[in-house]
Amino acid sequence: MTTLVAVAKDDFDRWRDSQTTAVRTWLERIRFKNDVGTIAWLPVAADGPTRALVITSSDALTAVADLPYRLPEGDYQLESEFAGADLERAVLGWGLGAYRFNRYKKSERNPARLFAQQGIEPAIRQLDAIALVRDLINTPASDMLPSDLAAAAEALAAEFGGECNVTVGEALLERGTCAGATSSIQRSC
């Protein structure tokens, strides 16, 4: 597993000064510039993990969001100053960047996988919900009929122990319509 060292641009000088002479010398030799998005593979100490340095913005949501497809495929563990809500936002950003709609065409490669500390469950739940919505939105209307949308809603309700009532056809006409409803599926008013 590769350690991904995420350092905010404004914190780079402090971070660099805290590193070993070997790391500081390496960064000088490769003429590393601390521009947001810049990645550098760091020297590996004997029996140490592979490490990659990435310069990020200070916004946790966008800090690592473009990395799942910029980094080589593999497993990464985030080492950063993000904690609590900021760590959740960074994980959310990574997951949003890793999303691909591949119902009709498989992605040419898998995204890099991020392993983060515990306590990121809210971000994982948000990612699952966002991926479902993105998949529904990205599915062309010819493949996302009202019955398909109803099936997705019923599956979601079943997964979480909820209840889903679908009104279709003549029953919809007998029941009336909600203001602005234009499909054959009606929500409760």
> Is there a single domain that holds both residue 54 and residue 128?
yes
Residue 188 has pLDDT above 70, yes or no: no
| 148-182 pLDDT tens trace | 989 999 998 999 898 988 888 888 778 775 545 55
Is the distance from CB of 89 to CB of 78 less than 8 angstroms? no
> Looking at residue 187, what is its pLDDT?
46
Q: Tell me how many domains the chain contains.
A: 2
Residue 121 has pLDDT above 70, yes or no: yes
Specify the higher pLDDT residue, 178 or 89: 89
> Is there a single domain that holds both residue 167 and residue 119?
no
> Is there a single domain that holds both residue 164 and residue 185?
yes
d(CA 23, CA 19): 6
> Is there a single domain that holds both residue 38 and residue 87?
yes
> Is there a single domain that holds both residue 134 and residue 152?
no
Among residues of the chain, what percentage have pLDDT more than 70? 92
d(CA 45, CA 27): 15
> Looking at residue 178, what is its pLDDT?
56
> Is there a single domain that holds both residue 118 and residue 96?
yes
Mean per-residue pLDDT, 97-126: 88
> Looking at residue 81, what is its pLDDT?
85
> Looking at residue 113, what is its pLDDT?
94
> Is there a single domain that holds both residue 84 and residue 157?
no
Mean per-residue pLDDT, 115-128: 84
Is the distance from CB of 37 to CB of 66 less than 8 angstroms? yes
* Structural domain span for residue 118: 2-144
d(CA 55, CA 76): 16
Which residue type, as a one-letter code, is found at position 62? T
Residue 114 has pLDDT above 50, yes or no: yes
d(CA 3, CA 5): 6
Record the pTM: 0.80
> Looking at residue 47, what is its pLDDT?
74
> Looking at residue 189, what is its pLDDT?
40
Mean per-residue pLDDT, 136-143: 93
Residue 111 has pLDDT above 90, yes or no: yes
> Is there a single domain that holds both residue 46 and residue 66?
yes
Alpha-carbon separation of residue 21 from 17, 46, 52, 97, 158 (angstroms): 9, 15, 17, 34, 57
Residue 91 has pLDDT above 80, yes or no: yes
Mean pLDDT rounded to a whole number for the chain? 87
Residue 112 has pLDDT above 60, yes or no: yes
Long-range Cβ contact pairs of 149-155 (< 8 A, separation 24 or more): 149/185, 150/185
Of the residues 108, 129, 144, which one is the last residue of a structural domain?
A: 144
> Is there a single domain that holds both residue 58 and residue 97?
yes
Residue 101 has pLDDT above 90, yes or no: yes
> Is there a single domain that holds both residue 59 and residue 47?
yes
Report the CATH number that the domain containing residue 15 is assigned in CATH: 3.40.220.10
